[in-house]
Amino acid sequence: MLHKLAFIGFGVVGQGLAEILRDKREELKANHGFEAQIVAISDWNKGSLYHPEGLDINLLLETVQETGSLEAYPTSQGLKRDWDSIKTIKESNADTIVEVSYTNVETGQPAISHCEVAFTSGKNVVMTNKGPVALAYQKLTRLAEQHRVQWGFEGTVMSGTPTLRMPQLALVGNQMKEIRGILNGTTNYILTKMEEEEVSYETALKEAQALGFAEADPTSDVEGYDARYKVVILANHIMNVPLKVEDVSCQGITSITPELIRTARAEGKRWKLLASIKRGEEGKVVAKVAPEKVDLADSLAGIKGAINAIAYECDLVGTVTLSGAGAGKIETGYSLLIDLIHIAGNKQKVVM
Ligand code: HSE
């Protein structure tokens, strides 16, 4: 069955998914029976297009990459322009909304409203925006359930590295006693550069911004807020604990000086910004984000640069560690493809 998609936002991540759908069209059809068609794009800055019979992916990418806008996309019979995000979600014939809008990390808006409108209109949502999942997981999950639609957000933690599906599918039957991870690439990059090349904090941060993985406002990275959102998502979705953002203590890396880094090295240790969730006695859960001096023998000590890693401590199989990309155009675009393929193949589950 052809899976019709409406993109809300068409920035780096949305274009990453569109490139994958263009380049892997035949492979996805032959190997997974998965066929997708983009019927709409609504981007507050680049403009909007809707055609119920589908838009040409190659032309969309060429137009936006050459002109920075969708205005020059050729007009044809039945093509509508200028539909805003809400109209596109409500009135287009899409099966699934690809929610990759520019969203305020503190309020989760407008992405939370986009999810609400999509679910109540009977449409699935796949997204990489962390805010709505961290701030409204319980509410949005219930809403998706009520309307019998599906919600995927694999890319909210470690982009296309399957941080959410691996424990849910491959580690099924275990109870997670603890999750520890390096969940923010910007801060890991800064700490690695400060240690290995002895560059200043400011220089390392500028490099991370130039490489494109720092948030629009890097305060969210360096103060640990980005990692804290990811902790909340993991607690709710993987450990089934309805943790809220304010339940997670949070400290970033701004107090880590070159002197502290040298001292740790002399002790055979290394500073890492660790995110953790631990299930204690009587089910009490403690979650935090904080810089820690980890022993070089620790599986997380060797994770360098912008790479992320996560260790799941399971009651049956012991500790399983997963490392991989935590950001990137194609990597994060791919996380949306994982959600889409699962949605297309599973008509029963609500939260993918
Ligand atoms: N700013 C984030 C990071 C991007 O540095 O890891 C992915 O969430």
In which order are the strands placed within the sheet that holds 285-295? Answer: 249-250, 285-295, 269-279, 176-182, 308-314, 318-324
Dihedral through CA 211, CA 216, CA 217, CA 218, nearest 10? -20
H or E element, residue 329 = helix 329-345
Q: How far is the CA of 34 from the centre of ligand 1 (A)?
A: 29
Question: For 30-59, b where at least 16 C-beta lie within 10 A, e where not — what string?
Answer: eeeebebbbbbbbbeebbbbbbeeebebee
Residue whose CB lies within 8 A of the most ligand 1 atoms, among 158, 163, 186, for a mutation test: 186
Q: Does residue 53 have a pLDDT over 70?
A: yes
Q: Which atom of ligand 1 is nearest to the CA of 157?
A: 8
Closest ligand 1 atom number to CA of residue 218: 1
Point out the residues that are catalytic.
230
Tell whether ligand 1 has an atom less than 6 A from the beta carbon of residue 129: no
pLDDT at 347: 52
Residue with tokens 């204690």: 280
Question: What is the mean predicted confidence (pLDDT) over 250-279?
Answer: 96
Residue 165 near residue 154, CB atoms below 8 Å: yes
Question: What is the Cα–Cα distance from 338 to 144, expressed in whole angstroms?
Answer: 19
Q: List the domains of the chain with CATH numbers.
A: 3-160+330-345 (3.40.50.720), 165-325 (3.30.360.10)
Is residue 149 within 8 Å of 120, Cβ to Cβ? no
The CA distance from 231 to 226, in Å, is: 9
Q: Is 327 in the pocket of ligand 1 (CB under 6 A)?
A: yes
Cα separation, 235 vs 246, in Å, equals 13
The secondary structure of residue 185, as a DSSP letter, is H
| Span from the CA of 153 to the centroid of ligand 1 (angstroms) | 15
Q: For residue 291, name the pLDDT band (cuts at 50, 70, 90).
A: very high
Q: What is the pLDDT of residues 190-205, one digit of tens each?
A: 999 999 999 999 999 9
- Say how far apart CA 80 and CA 64 lie, in whole Å: 17
Number of Cβ within 10 Å of residue 345's Cβ equals 10
Note whether 159 and 193 are within 8 A (CB). no
Q: Answer yes or no: is pLDDT of 26 > 70.
A: yes
Neighbours of 261 (CB within 10 A): 19
Q: Are 117 and 101 in contact (CB under 8 A)?
A: no
The predicted structure's pLDDT at residue 352: 53
pLDDT tens digits for range 82-95:
899 999 999 999 99
Per-residue pLDDT band for 350 (boundaries 50, 70, 90) equals low
Task: Please work out, in degrees rounded to the nearest 5, the angle formed at the alpha carbon of residue 226 by the alpha carbons of 220 and 230.
Answer: 170
pTM of the model: 0.95
- Listing from the earlier edge strand, what are the strands of the sheet with 151-152? 80-81, 47-50, 35-43, 2-8, 96-99, 124-127, 151-152
- pLDDT confidence of residue 345: 85
Task: State whether the Cα torsion 75-79-85-89 is positive or negative.
Answer: negative
- Which contacts (CB < 8 Å, 24+ apart) does range 340-343 have? 340/3, 340/5, 340/34, 340/36, 340/96, 340/126, 340/152, 341/28, 341/32, 341/34, 342/152, 342/165, 343/3, 343/96, 343/124, 343/126, 343/150, 343/152
Given a cut of 90, is residue 1 above it in pLDDT? Answer: no
